[in-house]
Amino acid sequence: MTDQVSTKKQEIVTDSDVSVIILLAENNFFNTTKKYYDMKICGKTSLQWMQNAVGENVNIKKVACTQTADIVSNVKPYLGDKKYTAVLYADTPLLQRKTFLEIMAYVKHKNLSVCKLTRGYVFETEHLKQSEKVYAPQTHYFEEEDFITNYNLKQLSLIEDVMRRRILNYHMKNGVRVIDPASTYVDADVTIAENVVIYPNNNISGECYIEANVTINPNNIIKDSYLLKGSVVTSSVISNSIVGKKSVVGPFADIYQNTVISEDCIVKGNNIIKNSKIEKNVKITTSVLEDCEIGESATIGPNARIRNNARIGENCRIGNFCEVKNSTVGKDTKMSHLSYMGDATVGKDCNIGAGVVFCNYDGKNKNKTLIGDNVFIGSNNSLIAPLEIKTGAFTAAGSTINKPVENGEFAIARAKQENKTREKKD
């Protein structure tokens, strides 16, 4: 284009003066059940990319046709009263907004009644209404990369590569460091702030928001999620979730289904976290969390499981090989080793010893255990629900507790030890 034509862009017809018809040309070379124009390219279908190109406010009319169909007879029934009609094809999703504006500026500046493109046409609508066939001896060339045609899966792969490169170039221009563009996949609806570093082998899709100074180490899949300022993720899957400021996730974490991880958390080593809320300064190691809440500065794992609406209080510790189900655990309570808690409410500053089992199921019903503040539950206890152990109580190691324990009481429930002389064998 000449400089003169470029300066005429401001004279272009507005979106209200142009109508767009997209031809859905028949194609049998894909050998797939899904139509080529419904296949997503970097997160958007061909028709969505075409909408971006012609303008969000332009009403597109979609017309099915064969590859050899007569243009005039196909589009005449759909002509409106706008001054210009652009007839484009759904198999050119690389068309950009700037190219479309250049085309329209050129048509107006040259006062053309018809402009044949590499793939498609622009008409003066009144001219097209009066025509029986298209007469356009000259093809007008613009940004030819925009007209690469999607006619089979090999071409689709090429188009996706071009689109992916455009997206990455945009982000790199705006201060995002992409270490290896060839192995980095970022969808169109991903928003990335400046000073983000993306290492190789990452796939970021859907509506993601990545704030400044985030580090995305190798081998992540991130979809429809927020990574807040200064967070770090490594070799993990993060879907429909939020990773808070300066939090570290991975390697090998699976975070999904509306999980919210607050700031300054460490989530490392083969964690699975589903639909859970993690408050700030929490440390989680090699554990499974589902439908739960973890309070500030708590420590979880390694190899813990927390599920079914469990609520773990501030500064608690749920240690190795412990499970908490449908229970509330108060502030500063510790359950460090090899224990199961189900259907319980436990107060603050309690100690649950190793090998403790909250026996909540009687074969028919799930029963509740209530434990007050400052309670010490000795190792290898069986707490048979329904049961209440009140504030300040102490249960001895090896006990089976099935009766209430009052405030400050000491409970011991185990068989008396007897020591007998061993008989020597001849």
Report pLDDT digits (tens) over 91-129: 999 999 999 999 999 999 999 999 999 999 999 999 999
User: Pairing mode, if any, of strands 266-268 and 400-401?
Assistant: unpaired
Indicate the pLDDT class of residue 26, thresholds 50, 70 and 90: confident
Residue 191 has pLDDT above 80, yes or no: yes
What pLDDT shows up at residue 8?
41
With a cut of 80, say whether residue 289 has pLDDT above it: yes
Q: Do 3-155 and 174-275 fold alike per CATH?
A: no
| pLDDT tier, 68 (very low <50, low <70, confident <90, very high otherwise) | confident
Read off the pLDDT of each residue in 291-316 and give the average, rounded to a whole number: 98
Q: What is the pTM of this model?
A: 0.90
Checking if the pLDDT of 264 tops 80, the result is yes
Architecture of domain 3-155: Alpha-Beta Complex (3.90)
pLDDT of residue 14: 64
pLDDT tens digits along 297-308: 999 999 999 999
Query: Which homologous superfamily is 288-426 in?
Result: Hexapeptide repeat proteins (2.160.10.10)
Residue 11 pLDDT: 47
Percentage of the residues of the chain whose pLDDT score is greater than 90: 86
The chain-wide mean pLDDT, for the chain, equals: 94
Q: Residue by residue, what is the 3-state secondary structure of the chain?
A: CCHHHHHHHHHCCCHHHEEEEEEEECCCCCCCCCCHHHCEECCEEHHHHHHHHHCCCCCEEEEEECCCCCHHHHHHHHCCCCCEEEEEECCCCCCCHHHHHHHHHHHHHCCCCEEEECCEEEEEHHHHHHCCCCCCCCECCCCHHHHCCCCCHHHHHHHHHHHHHHHHHHHHHCCCEECCHHHEEECCCCEECCCCEECCCEEEECCCEECCCCEECCCEEEECCEECCCCEECCCEEECCEECCCCEECCCCEEECCCEECCCCEEECCCEEECCEECCCCEEECCEEECCEECCCCEECCCCEEECCCEECCCCEEEECCEEECCEECCCCEEEECCEEECEEECCCCEECCCCEEECECCCCECCEEECCCCEECCCCEEECCEEECCCCEECCCCEECCCECCCCEECCCCCCCCCCCCCCC
What is the predicted pLDDT for the residue at 3? 36
- What is 174-275's CATH topology? UDP N-Acetylglucosamine Acyltransferase; domain 1 (2.160.10)
Give pLDDT, residue 426.
64
Tell me what percent of the residues of the chain surpass a pLDDT of 70: 96
Q: Which residues are catalytic?
A: 337
Q: Where are the domains of the chain?
A: 3-155, 174-275, 288-426
Q: What is the mean pLDDT of residues 339-361?
A: 98
pLDDT band at 70 (very low <50, low <70, confident <90, very high): confident
